[in-house]
Chains A and B, each alone.
Chain A
Amino acid sequence: MLVLQAIIEGVLVGGFYALMAAGLTLVFGVMDIVNFAIGALIVLGAYLSYSITTHFHIDPFVSLIFTTPLMTALGMFIYVFLIKPIKTNKVVMSLLTMFAVATLIEGILDICYNSGFVQIHASYINNSLRIGKLNFPLIYVLSFLLSAFLLSCLYLVTYRTKFGRSLRASMQNPVAARLVGIDTDRVSMITLGIGIGLAAIGGMIFGTTNAFNASSSYDIISRLLVIVILGGFGSVGGALVAAIFMLVIQDVVAVVWSPVWGSTAFYMILMLVLLVRPQGLFGKKGVRAQ
């Protein structure tokens, strides 16, 4: 019974990681940027929602109306002023830039909010949902539904809209995309905007389900990195499966064995998989030699 509970909880929490990993993968696919700042940005989103809910007594889900556009704009700003000017060695330079952005954000948050742990509050946060003998925190279920909804939106945008077509074209072959008149700069800007806008939503979810402080970002980013490596870089579907898979494993190990080893199991699996398949579970091999 406990194991079943752990599995379902793993799936529920996995939804959040899947959504964040999808954003990470999308950004990576379009512009070869490993958005290392995503952890710090999620925590930033969490703090924004936290401030809004505590000061104005607004429901955390409603706070997203303010935080999401704000963070989307931040993403576009980062693209225009920090990423676009990079000319050489893009993969490494942009990763280091995002690393620096993460450090900057962490420092700012630490000053603004001190290092004490906080959690976003809502009246229903301690309610839970009973199904048979199982008991799930309501907030987990709501978060999962929100994540699933956003993931479907993301899917529709990428596969059913004109922007999505430009986006996929830029992912597959940026040079050719530019040749057929796609403004890849604009696509990149919007993609990073979306990727970071999602962090606002992710932050709210993270902040309602966990107590956090400025350095929680490392917890998030370390897990997300494992998930995207496992999923095979650039494969959104892979990231989804890997996210759910990993979180379920972690929760089951935590229940069966000990919570301490839950996250260790997470990393052990990564190592084992990479020994067998260096390109990750769903990744493709490199390009051909001409």
Chain B
Amino acid sequence: MSTDTTISQRPTPPSYEVPKAIRYGALTVGFLVLVIFPLVFNNPTISTIGVFAMIFLMAVTGWNIFSGYTGYIALGHAVFFGIGQYATAMLASYWQIPPGWETFLLIPVSMFLAGLAAIPIGLIVLRVRKHTFIVLTIALMFIFQLFAYNLRGWTGGSQGLEVSQPPWDGSIFNLPYYYVGLFLAIIAIVTSFMIRRSKFGLSLLAIRDDEDRARSLGINTRNSKLTAFVISAIFLGAAGCMYAMFVGSVYPQFSFDPAFDLELSIMAFAGGLGTILGPSLGALIISGAQQYFLITFGGANVFLIVYGALFILILRLLPGGVVPAISDKWRSHVVRKEQRILDSELEGPAEAGAHK
């Protein structure tokens, strides 16, 4: 008997992916909704929520490029968020940038500085493996917070720094921030998408699954991790800059805030860690809810309680996230359809030995 019978009975495997038409359709609708959102809801309270949502959208997408793809959960990305904030506040006053459009030019500068800082930081923290890594990143964040408190000459210590705000009218004040934020968020998402499709991205996923194995297949794991780390830091830097400009002040405890990374990870986990769009979905829903709670409950403490409880609930009920849950559903739908076709074939012409 030829061995060939055991091989490739069905050379074309079924695709388990949600069809392109549906995916791109949903993306287009989502994009349009985001574009017209502040025009429809022109109430400043609501568009403020929108601006924060955009900031978190780019932050979590950046975070996911590293943590989601490589599986190294970084809980110290507030470092880069904070660097973006302090860079903005310090440079705006150092270069005496007049409040207004010009301040937005600090975005690329912040991105550059955050990316630059990520190189030495990455070289240190990426030497250790998974759980030590997590803890080390948290520790790192505390180090930066400490610096922000202690280097008073530059950072203002616990007094913080101010970023003077442009004299725009309240009714349109949020719009520039919103659209610049949306633009940056889209760049982040496109970057994430391109990386996921690339060989580099595949290497990152291989590192997530088995780093040692990846090394012995010729993947330079150190460089791959570092590259992803730097790219993700760049978007956190952008988010930090936007945040500082929009809020108008920076403080050590809010710029380098341990809760910030909790927020990012809750968004990513809720949406689907390591998927391209899951974290974005998580960011939109959760940061929206977050701002809503903050406005409704006022005090930060109630907010903390709601937040902690919400996170525990999400981890319990949706450990994989929304997006993987949907694609699982789709997958089982495809498999069932396949099975039906197979069954009907079996009932047809004489079939023998096709059973497994």
Contact = CB atoms under 8 A, between A and B. Distances in A.
Interface of A: 28, 32, 34, 36, 82, 85-89, 91-93, 95-97, 99-108, 110-111, 214, 218, 222, 225-226, 228-229, 233, 260-261, 263-264, 267, 270-271, 274-275, 278-280, 283, 286, 289
Nearest to A36: B138
Contacts of B316: 82, 85
A222 B139 contact: yes
Contacts of A103: 259, 262, 304-305, 307-308, 311
B129 interface: yes
A110 B134 CA distance: 27
Contacts of B306: 107
B319 interface: yes
B312 interface: yes
A275 to B, nearest CB: 6
A91 B311 CA distance: 16
A206 to B, nearest CB: 17
A110 B300 contact: yes
B150 interface: yes
Interface of B: 73, 75, 124, 127-132, 134-136, 138-139, 142-143, 146-147, 150, 212, 258-259, 262, 265-266, 269, 299-309, 311-312, 315-316, 319-320
Nearest to A93: B315
Contacts, number: 132
Closest 6 pairs between A and B when the two form their complex, measured CB to CB: A107-B304, A104-B308, A110-B301, A107-B305, A103-B308, A222-B142
Given A107-B302, A229-B139, A267-B142, A91 B315 contact: no
A93 B304 contact: no
Contacts of B311: 96-97, 99-100, 103
B150 A225 contact: no
B212 A289 contact: yes
B146 A263 contact: yes
Given A229-B132, A264-B147, A270 B139 contact: yes
A101 B262 CA distance: 11
A286 B132 CA distance: 12
